Amino acid sequence: MRDRDSAGAPARLALTAELLLLDGLTRAGRAAMLVLVAAAAVCWGFAAVALHQQALTTRAGGGSLSPLATIFADGSSALTAWPGWLAAAILLLSTTRLRRGPVEPPAGRSAAGELSAAKVRSGLRREYMGARLILIVVSALTLADLARLAVSGIAALLGLGGAGDGLPWMGVEVAGLGAATVALTAWVLSFRRQLERVGALEPSRAPERGRGSPS
């Protein structure tokens, strides 16, 4: 069991790096990138709390707020908590359809019958790239909102006025974004399996064949 788990760990790490477009970096480069992203998320958490405090001070003083400042002043609420959950539900339904349905041709102007096999594979690879880019954006948003929740919670415990405003709704919002990230990951992995079935993955990412298997 340990040997199987230890053998699968590098494959899972390689797949994660591929999904996050980090497969072209060394291990040190991947680690540095992850540390940089985490640090940026923490900085955003502190900045969001500071902007929230500034907007509250301006509102209390009777000053006018821009639409963006109003968003920071209002904080998380029922209006901001539902989009992530809705996206997660839609993605889960799409993932189920993707797993049970046949491989569909890439979106484009040409009809499916007018595309050669090579063009279909190329189009599917482009869609796979786009899906991974969207996954990176959604993951970054989730991490940033998680950092905002953590910093806001700590600030509220320390007694910073207004830091705890909408904290429960912020938790629901972060959980929704997390659910959307998980659902999108499942969708991308399902789409990847379709690419494997039609041989559309790039050679460097295609599953390695055994030496004795036919070419």
In angstroms, the CA 55 to CA 60 distance is: 9
12 versus 8: the higher-pLDDT residue is 12
Predicted pLDDT of residue 215 = 40
Predicted pLDDT of residue 120 = 77
Q: What is the pLDDT of residues 29-73, one digit of tens each?
A: 999 999 999 999 999 999 999 999 999 889 888 888 888 888 888
Q: What is the pTM of this model?
A: 0.82
With tokens 């796979």, the residue in question is 128
Residue at 178 is within a domain? yes
Residue at 24 is within a domain? yes
In angstroms, the CA 90 to CA 101 distance is: 16
Predicted pLDDT of residue 206 = 47
Residue at 30 is within a domain? yes
In angstroms, the CA 156 to CA 111 distance is: 57
Residue at 36 is within a domain? yes
Q: What is the pLDDT of residues 73-108, one digit of tens each?
A: 888 889 899 999 999 999 999 999 988 877 776 665
Q: Side-chain half-sphere of 202: how many Cα atoms within 13 Å?
A: 8
Which residue range is the domain that position 167 belongs to?
Answer: 2-107+115-197
In angstroms, the CA 58 to CA 80 distance is: 22
Q: How many domains does the chain have?
A: 1
Widest distance between CA atoms in the chain = 77
Residue at 62 is within a domain? yes
Residue at 209 is within a domain? no
